[in-house]
């Protein structure tokens, strides 16, 4: 169970987490906890191609850092027995099976919290733990469509567009980590754990934010507007071509400040498309860097960067958004650091990615089982 430490490596140092996570959203949650100092053990079944252990390449390095890995077959009595002993010593269990699976395996929240009343049991699913879609599988793009995100993304009239990352997988993992930390804080007052759960769909709809409440409050069905923001004056888009790339400009508080900064005069009653043309023509006359230097003190602005340019940006370099880690074969590579900064208990990348089952013997020894065959693979 959680033990206080004199000099914790991170704010969650001493918290013991068992992960039964798969695909991306669940492993993102446990990575968040691990980066904050928790001792995370990911448990996978032999041959499970969707477990976090199955992720290879650069993606796997980034998802599986800071964790240990154990292989157990929970369908066998011996494997289940060892898992339950681990539960007795843990603070948190994280799982993202479809809702019925945990009940079939006998590892549902009610069963595990009966054994360990201080346990925080965390579940992540596609559509929620109950309801008409509860047993359906889901992936990020399905949820992008069902949340309304694809309907407001892309050029006007172009049909639905997905975003370039698995935005709701990542956000839901982070949201569940937030819920776990809140439940651990509540346990300090009550002495009891609880079941905390969320889903891709719930997180996605909450992230629709102002677009969702435009419908709920104003009755407006938002449509795709390309790179134009519905509340900004440049209706043709706030992403504009320069002589060597693109720049984003946000004319907060009206268009006059932007026009003055680029040497244009406001014209009363000017049509939106004509205004767009005049601004675009001026911005196309100089480089992105020149415009950012000129406009940064006037309106929010910034360059549109490719990924290699992102990590060469002076501010990104200053923020140290990447950090080295040793991967398989002793190769040192860079991964993303946790985007949180603490004055005392700093998050860190303490270990590289695991091999599936790499720490099984080590964890069995911690349970004083030695090399007992417990439904695991060596």
pLDDT in tens, the chain (378 residues): 444 333 457 999 999 999 999 999 999 999 999 999 999 999 999 877 666 555 678 999 999 999 999 999 999 999 999 999 999 999 999 999 999 999 999 999 999 999 999 999 999 999 999 999 999 999 999 999 999 999 999 999 999 999 999 999 999 999 999 999 999 999 999 999 999 999 999 999 999 999 999 999 999 999 998 998 877 788 878 999 999 999 999 987 778 999 999 999 999 988 989 999 999 999 999 999 999 999 999 999 999 999 999 999 999 999 999 999 999 889 999 999 999 999 999 999 999 999 989 999 999 999 985 444 444 443
325 backbone φψ class: left, alpha, beta (φ>0; ψ -120 to 50): beta
Location of each CATH 3.40.50.10540 domain in the chain: 16-208+348-369
**pLDDT in the model for residue 1:** 46
**pLDDT in the model for residue 128:** 98
Phi, psi of 200 (to 5 degrees): -55, -40
Considering the four listed CATH numbers 3.40.50.10540, 3.30.70.890, 2.40.37.10, 3.40.50.10140, the one that applies to the domain covering 16-208+348-369 is: 3.40.50.10540
Location of each CATH 3.30.1540 domain in the chain: 238-316
CB-based contact 106:97 (threshold 8 Å): no
Comparing C-alpha atoms, which of 98, 29, 114, 34 is closest to residue 325? 34
**pLDDT in the model for residue 90:** 98
Distances (CA, A) of 339 to 35, 40, 77, 151, 205: 10, 19, 41, 29, 23
The one catalytic residue in 73, 169, 293, 313 is 169
Residue 39 annotated as catalytic = no
Domain 238-316, CATH class in plain words: alpha beta
pTM recorded for the entire structure:
0.92
């Amino acid at each position: 169970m959680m033990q206080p430490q004199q000099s914790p490596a991170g704010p969650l140092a001493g918290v013991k987490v068992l992960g039964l996570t798969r695909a991306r959203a669940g492993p993102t949650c446990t990575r968040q906890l691990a980066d904050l100092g928790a001792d995370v053990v990911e448990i996978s079944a032999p041959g499970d191609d969707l477990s976090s252990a199955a992720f290879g390449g650069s993606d796997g390095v980034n998802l599986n850092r800071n964790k240990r890995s154990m292989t157990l077959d929970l369908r066998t009595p011996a494997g289940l027995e060892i898992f339950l002993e681990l539960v007795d010593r843990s603070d948190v269990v994280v799982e993202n099976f479809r809702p019925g699976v945990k009940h079939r395996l006998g590892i549902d929240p009610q069963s595990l919290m009966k054994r360990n009343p201080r346990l925080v049991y965390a579940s992540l699913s596609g559509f929620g733990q109950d309801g008409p879609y509860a047993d359906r599988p889901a992936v990020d793009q399905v949820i992008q469509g069902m949340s309304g995100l694809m309907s407001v993304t892309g050029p006007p009239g172009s049909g639905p567009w997905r975003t370039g990352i698995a935005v709701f997988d990542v956000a839901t993992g982070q949201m569940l980590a937030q819920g776990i930390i809140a439940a651990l804080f509540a346990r300090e007052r009550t002495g009891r754990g609880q079941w905390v759960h969320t889903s891709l769909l719930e997180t996605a709809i909450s992230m629709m934010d102002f677009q969702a409440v435009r419908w709920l409050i104003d009755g407006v069905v938002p449509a795709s507007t390309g790179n134009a923001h519905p509340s900004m004056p440049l209706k043709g888009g706030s992403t504009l071509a320069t002589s060597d790339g693109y720049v984003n400009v946000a004319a907060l508080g009206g268009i006059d400040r932007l026009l003055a900064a680029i040497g244009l005069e406001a014209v009363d009653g000017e049509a939106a498309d004509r205004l767009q043309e005049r601004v675009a023509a001026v911005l196309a006359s100089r480089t992105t860097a020149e415009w950012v230097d000129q406009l940064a003190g006037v309106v929010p602005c910034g360059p549109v960067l490719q990924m290699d340019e992102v990590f060469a940006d002076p501010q990104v370099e200053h923020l140290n958004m990447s950090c080295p880690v040793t991967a398989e074969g002793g190769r040192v590579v860079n991964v993303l650091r946790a985007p949180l900064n603490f004055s005392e208990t700093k998050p860190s990348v303490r270990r590289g990615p695991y091999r599936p089952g790499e720490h099984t013997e080590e964890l069995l020894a911690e349970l004083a089982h030695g090399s007992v065959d417990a439904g695991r693979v060596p």
